[in-house]
Amino acid sequence: MNVWQLVKVHRGAALVLALLSLSASLLLAALPRGYERAYDDAVHGMLGDVSVQVTDLGVTGRPIAPQALLTRPADFENRYEEIAKGLPAQLRRVVVPLGQGTSHFAAKTTGTPLSDRVDGPRRNNQYVDFSWLPGAASRVKWVKGRPPGASSALPRLPGRPDLKDLTVIEIGLVAEVVDEMGLDVGATLLLGNSYPVVAEVTGLYELTDAADPYWEHNGEVTRVVERPIPHSTDNEWLTSGLISDDGLAKLDQRREVSYWWIFGVDRARVAAATAPAMIAEVNDYQRFLGELSGGALGSPLDLHYELLTGLNRVLGDFLVVLRTAETLLYLLLGGLAVVSLGVLALAVQLLTERMRSGLSLVRARGASLAQVVRAGVGVVALAVLPAALAGYGLSYLVPGPSTPLAHVVPVVLTVATLLFATGRLAVAHRRPLKDSRSDLVSARPSPRRIALESLVVLLGVGGAYLMRTRGVASEAQELGVDPFLVLAPAGLALAAGILTLRLYPLPLKLFTRLAGRRPGAVPFLGLTLAARSRGGAALPVLILLPALAVSVFGALVSGAIGDTQSRAAWRDVGAQARIERAAEIPEDVVARVEALPGVTSVLRAGKGNVQVGIGGMRATVLSIDLKDYRELVDGSPLTVPDPPRGLGVPALVSTTLVPYKEIEVGWHTRMTIRNMGRLDELPGLSFPGENLIVMPFDGPKRAGLRTYTNILLVDGDVDRATLERTVGLADAEIETYASALADVQDTPLTGAVTVAFTVATLAMGVYALIAVIVALVIGAADRAKALSFLRTLGLSQQQARTLTVLEVAPLIVLTAVAGLALGLVLPLVIGPGLDLSSFAGLAVTDFPLTFTTPALLAAALTAVSILGAFAHATAGRRVTTALRVGESS
């Protein structure tokens, strides 16, 4: 049989199949790519948020033997070769070569005190270290003096007869030492208490580019660090000077010297998919360095190497977030795959039904089963294969790295489609002319089938129950997605599908009985037709149900994430906008803010951190009018308690302070507040866990002073930039709800999840519509026969249309209800296993059972499907003519 000719004859159905195959393979190949890109963006974002010092691989070597001193640049290069050899594959891939990016080597001393100054008086508590940074030469410009040069010897030091034959090392210092440490060009420093060395400052430099990540590794040479000395009121100052190659040769074991080899990591080359491997490799590399230090690898036993990096920790944190995102996306992808497979199966059914009569004739005329199946599958393959290939090819237009999933899913889908076609054709044409006796009663499902279906339902429900009780057993740190999390919903969907299929005639029988009592024949006939469970109904149900369930679930998850994001932003800010300052906010600023367009009200509040007169506790004290505040945040998720009332200074206090009736605090003045009730936190204004005292805004005034304002809570529509401009105080902290919300929303993974839900919901809606229409087209011939028979009995064209819609509508409506229910149940099942906090900024504690969006989704899908049925009934061929004598019905 000529397969091509068959395709040409059934080009309509073949085209439908081809288009579906193209879209399915495009979607299912493109989505993983998109996801992977979002994952990569997310990992780059997370790596970008931290210093290169954390993400680069730093290897330190400390000499453990005198001969281990590295005195020439060539020594460092040799060692670099040696330690780079052990870099595992993935790490090697992301590391940039020596001299590029942040890859470099260095020698540094630490903790070298400035013990004396040869040229004049010294200041106390100063430390000046040596840094040999061959890469620094091109990154600094000398603003005074000259770069350090060769070292020299000093036979004796004037005024210090105890010191002889000292080494003089020339150093260059960062320019700010002049102000910070009183050092300048020409200063001669005696460094180190025992075995001191002389350092002569030959020049001062500034950084050509302070933002160069190179300096993040070598911060000590870029600035003077001033820090308090522990257990003392004094400060100490630390800096480090650059020395020349010749200076390096003079750094001996008497200095606390360590050698550094930094392997710069190119963050753009880090792929989310390789993160688990990279974490393992960091550990491997650490082990390698340990072996190298121990001489196990034949290396000289002179340096103790150690790996210093936070790469594994950052990637580990990322994986926790990724796992949740992956779970959600796999869930969507799985749902989409099932739905598209269902639609493809329907289209195959359409095509094979169209070919049926021809193939039956051919089979009866002496074609073997193999010949018939070969021809039929050939047609399906001709429609599916090029289309799937084209879809797969088109998916390369979607930016993003290709993942195994992107290759595997289209192949699986195509193979499954062809297998379904094979099975269907084989069953349909196993016996030639099987339809020769269509007058017999259709068989009831066999006991074996009922048992199988019961088993599936039991497994689905049992799995969901287990999921609910067990939660997710695997630790968040564990790499990869919990397969159970993905399988349980699929099982549940299948169970729901089977239950719907088996049970939907039951409510219909009731309606049929009701319709039977009413005068119109069409509703009764339509419902009766609908209640006749036919095999053709299975596929649309199995498509519609998961489509709606996943969409509803997606809407709920998106809703929960959105709600929690909003709550997190509210908790963060405490109002639409908050202006906070340590000092008082001047009246004119308040007036300017109040006058801003869009600002509807401004609430003043005071805040301070005070010592409570009980056991040296500290507490945050707030003066705010809770009644006004409640009005200000009305309609937000924040709840504000009733204001404290009473004489004196009434206040609400946190749990630890509750036992005390009166509390003495020193805020602006010494005042006694009266405990009027409990309040543990006021989001946005206090941190949870700290002691809190909330008094009326005029609390200080009641205590005999005046009111103080250092917080403004603003209601209204105003953006952060405008507020910053208006306030004009550099030390004021300005936070708006919108910016806080944007912070939690604008992460690549959140975006990916939201987009994925939208795409999947749309795609599934379209598929559901196609499924209904294709199912109708498949049954069109049978329906036409039934209708033409009814037409002879006097059914009008309009009634015939209504009948068609009524015939499919109950199944669609009932399936939509089942899908809606499943979608609403899914969060209960999966919720405990999903950690959405990384998307929401807060732990997502509950999924608010909002019916609006899901119900709208269900209604829309139902309406679209029924409209599809109506369109088919209206635009379909006019087959609904009356029977003529001699025609068989």
Partner 1 sequence: MTTLSDLEAQATRRAPAFGEHAHILCDNLVRIYKTEGVEVVALQGLDLLIEKGELIAVVGASGSGKSTLLNVLSGLDVPTAGLARVAGMDLLSMTAKDRLRYRRSVVGFIWQQTARNLLPYLTARENVLLPMKLAGKKVTPGRADGLLDLLGVADCAPRRPGQMSGGEQQRVAIAVALANSPEVILADEPTGELDSDTSEEVFGALRRANRELGVTAVIVTHDPLVSEQVDRTVGIRDGRTSSETLRRTSEDGDVIAEEYAVLDRVGRLQLPRDFMNALEMERRVRLELERDHIGVWPAGAGEENGE
Bridge partners, 174 (sequence order): 205
Q: Is 5 in the site for partner 1 (CB under 8 A)?
A: yes
Which one among 397, 443, 473, 647 touches partner 1, defined by CB under 8 A? Answer: 443
Report the site for partner 1 in 480-539 (rule: CB under 8 A).
none
Distances (CA, A) of 452 to 382, 458, 464: 34, 10, 18
User: From the CB of 349, what's the least distance to partner 1, in Å?
Assistant: 21
Q: Give the nearer residue to partner 1 in terms of CB position, either 367 or 676.
A: 367
Residue 379 binds partner 1 (CB under 8 A): no
The residue within the footprint of partner 1, chosen from 364, 450, 617, 742 (CB under 8 A), is 364
CB of 89 or CB of 364, closer to partner 1: 364
Name the minimum Å distance from CB 348 to partner 1.
21
Q: How far is CA 471 from CA 106, 463, 561, 596, 824, in A?
A: 50, 11, 20, 50, 18
Instruction: Name which of 441 and 730 has its Cβ closer to partner 1.
Output: 441
450 binds partner 1 (CB under 8 A): no
Q: 113 forms bridges with which residues in the sheet?
A: 127
Taken in order 87, 91, 93, 96, the sign of the CA dihedral is: negative
Does residue 436 bind partner 1 (CB under 8 A)? yes
Size, binding site for partner 1 by CB under 8 A: 25
Backbone angles phi, psi at 885, to 5 degrees: -60, 135
810, two tokens:
């109950």
Minimum CB–partner distance for residue 850 and partner 1 (Å):
48
What is the rounded distance in angstroms from the CA atom of residue 539 to the CA atom of residue 830? 26
**Residue 441 contacts partner 1 per CB under 8 A:** yes
Record the tokens describing residue 723, joined without a space: 């507020």
Q: Which residues contact 639 (CB under 8 A, 6 or more apart)?
A: none
Which of 231, 444, 518, 878 is close enough to bind partner 1 by CB under 8 A? Answer: 444
Q: Say whether residue 479 binds partner 1 (CB under 8 A).
A: no
Residue 583 per-residue DSSP state:
S
> CB of residue 350 vs partner 1: minimum separation in angstroms?
18
Residues numbered 699 to 718 that lie near partner 1 (CB under 8 A) are none
Stretch that binds partner 1, among 385-393, 432-440, 725-733, 766-774 (CB under 8 A): 432-440
Strands 197-207 and 140-145: what pairing?
Answer: antiparallel
Report the residue from 166, 367, 493, 824 that binds partner 1 according to the rule CB under 8 A.
367
Compare residues 367 and 599 and give the one whose CB is closer to partner 1. Answer: 367
Nearer to partner 1, 235 or 368 (CB): 368
Give the C-alpha separation, 596 to 578, whole Å. Answer: 14
**Single residue of 211, 440, 647, 730 touching partner 1 by CB under 8 A:** 440
For the CB of residue 448, give the shortest distance to partner 1 in the complex, in Å: 16
**Does 9 engage in binding with partner 1 (CB under 8 A)?**
yes
Stretch that binds partner 1, among 3-11, 215-223, 409-417, 674-682 (CB under 8 A): 3-11
Question: Closest CB to partner 1 among 8 and 123?
Answer: 8
Choices 5-13, 550-558, 795-803, 844-852; region in contact with partner 1 by CB under 8 A: 5-13
877 binds partner 1 (CB under 8 A): no
Q: Name the residue nearer to partner 1 (CB basis): 64 or 433.
A: 433
Q: Which of 432, 471, 613, 876 binds partner 1 (CB under 8 A)?
A: 432
Look up residue 740 and give its two tokens: 């806080």
Pairing of strands 303-308, 126-132: unpaired
Query: Contact region for partner 1 (CB under 8 A) — 70-78, 145-153, 367-375, 736-744?
Result: 367-375
- Which residue, 232 or 442, is less far from partner 1 as judged by CB? 442
Instruction: With beta carbons less than 8 A apart as the criterion, state whether 30 and 232 touch.
Output: no
Q: Which is nearer to partner 1, 270 or 784 (CB)?
A: 784
Q: Name which of 97 and 445 has its Cβ closer to partner 1.
A: 445
Quick note: the x/- pattern for partner 1 over 324-363, rule CB under 8 A, is ---------------------------------xx--xx-
Cα separation, 715 vs 579, in Å, equals: 11
Torsion of CA 366, 368, 369, 374, to 10 degrees: -110
Give the nearer residue to partner 1 in terms of CB position, either 440 or 875.
440
Instruction: Indicate whether 378 belongs to the interface with partner 1 (CB under 8 A).
Output: no
Please report, as residue ranges, which positions from 168 to 187 form the binding site for partner 1 (by CB under 8 A): none
Bin 691: left if φ > 0, else alpha if -120 < ψ < 50, else beta.
beta
Six-digit token string for 736:
């708006």
| Structure token pair of residue 800 | 């015939």
Q: Which CB, 3 or 461, lies closer to partner 1?
A: 3
Give me 793's structure tokens.
């009995």
Contacts of 303 (CB under 8 A, 6+ apart): 61, 62, 63, 64, 68, 79, 259, 293
3-state secondary structure 186-215: CCEEEECCCCCEEEEEEEEEEECCCCCCHH
Which H, E and C letters describe 691-724, residue by residue? CEEEECCCHHHHCCCCCCCCEEEEEECCCHHHHH
**Which of 364, 849 has the CB closer to partner 1?**
364
Copy the structure tokens of residue 566.
Answer: 């909003």
Residue 371 binds to partner 1 (criterion: CB under 8 A): yes
| 437 forms part of the interface with partner 1 (CB under 8 A) | yes
Task: Name the residue among 1, 773, 17 with its Cα closest to residue 414.
Answer: 17
Q: Which is nearer to partner 1, 356 or 407 (CB)?
A: 356
* Two tokens, residue 198: 């002389």
Query: Interface mask (CB under 8 A) for partner 1, residues 243-282, using x and -?
Result: ----------------------------------------
For partner 1, which is the closer residue by CB, 150 or 361?
361
Distance CA 490, CA 550 (A): 10
Residue 473 interacts with partner 1 (CB under 8 A): yes or no? no
Report the alpha-carbon distance of residue 608 to residue 667 in Å, rounded. 7
The two tokens of residue 58 are 């730093």
Instruction: Tell me the one-letter amino acid at 325.
Output: A
Among 231, 365, 517, 884, binds partner 1 (CB under 8 A): 365
Calculate Rg over the CA atoms of the chain: 38
Write the CA distances from 574 to 32, 407, 589, 618, 762, integer angstroms: 39, 48, 20, 22, 36
Question: To the nearest whole angstrom, how small is the minimum distance from the Cβ of residue 443 to partner 1?
Answer: 6
Residue 442 or 852: the one with the smaller Cβ distance to partner 1 is 442
Stretch that binds partner 1, among 70-78, 288-296, 435-443, 820-828 (CB under 8 A): 435-443
- For residues 626 and 640, give the distance between their C-alpha atoms in angstroms, rounded to a whole number: 7
Could you count the other beta carbons within 10 Å of the beta carbon of residue 253? 14
Query: CB of 365: closest distance to partner 1 in angstroms?
Result: 5
Q: How far is the CB of 360 from partner 1 (least distance, A)?
A: 9
Q: Which of 596, 579, 543, 604 is nearest to 763 (CA)?
A: 543
CA distance 767 to 758: 14
Cβ proximity to partner 1: between 11 and 725 the closer is 11
- How open is the CA angle 92-96-101, to the nearest 5 degrees? 155
Which CB atom, from 441 or from 647, has the smaller least distance to partner 1? 441
Name 204's Cβ contacts closer than 8 Å, sequence gap at least 6: 142, 143, 144, 145, 172, 173, 174, 175, 177, 178, 184, 185
CB of 512 to partner 1, least distance (A): 22
Q: Which of 411, 433, 455, 762 binds partner 1 (CB under 8 A)?
A: 433
885 binds partner 1 (CB under 8 A): no
Q: Residues in the site for partner 1, rule: CB under 8 A?
A: 1, 5, 8-9, 357-358, 361-362, 364-369, 371, 431-433, 436-437, 440-444
